[in-house]
Amino acid sequence: MKNITTELWETTVDLFPTRRESRMVMGVIFLAISISVSEILLAHFFSLLILPTEPRETKSLIFLGIIFLSFFSILRLASFAKEHYRLNIFEKSLTSCKSENQVANSWRWATAMELTSLLILCGRLFFISALLFFFSPIFGICNMIIGIGIFQILSWRLGKQFKSQYKFREKQRSKQPVTNAEKVRTRVIAAEIGSLLSSVGLIILLGILILLYAKGSLSPAKAFVLFIAVRMIGQIYSGLSSGLMRFARARVYSE
């Protein structure tokens, strides 16, 4: 976990050195986190809509359905605005770096894209994990313990990927480059291994969720929301695994 934190922090300082740029990046991350948390709350609203404690009238159901669709549309528009804002930040920050090496500059763009994507994923994971305590403290604790273990695995995979990419870089400089197939295979397999290992933790989480529901500790609506949350967490871990491998490649070649 320390390895991931150190790399992300050092890269952030390198690409966005001024306080103004850092605040702009934090604004993008906060917006993305707000969207993710809103999606969980919207899923809870949907679960109450389809699994009510008491039967609802048709008019009431239609009215609540319109509210749900309206908020869902707003979140989609906010997600689009987030990506547009992120690209504007890169244009202002990275184009100001007047590097004669256009190849290195393009790798800096790639690094910035991967960096912000990883920071957004980490932020989403943190707040979604915190939100789990609201629905079930026991499930939240289990998720936290499993998450720490998964981050240790991803940190280990990141360290190995950096070593591989530095070897590829040295061979390229010595005019003995490795094939593109080997580069892609090394990165993709490393990402899939990290994703596969994180899936073990998700299977355990799903087992705990089923157990809590079977014991009556969770209502059907809360169990549904937690299932959606676990799926989102699984997607985040998968995105982190592949993103960290791409980040290692971009970081090495941008130096």
Q: How does residue 28 score in pLDDT terms, banded at 50, 70 and 90? A: confident
pTM of the model: 0.80
| CA–CA distances in Å: residue 153 to residues 171, 193, 194, 197, 240 | 28, 10, 7, 8, 11
- What CATH number is given to the structural domain containing 19? 1.20.1560.10
| pLDDT above 70 for 97 | no
| pLDDT above 70 for 95 | no
Residue type for 126, please?
Answer: F
**What pLDDT is recorded for position 139?**
93
Q: Are 229 and 127 in contact (CB under 8 A)?
A: no
> Total domain count for the chain?
1
Nearest to 36 by CA among 207, 235, 194: 235
How high does pLDDT run on average in the chain?
84
Range of 46's domain? 2-254
Those residues whose C-beta lies under 8 Å from the C-beta of residue 81, and which sit 6 or more positions away, are 31
**What pLDDT is recorded for position 91?**
67
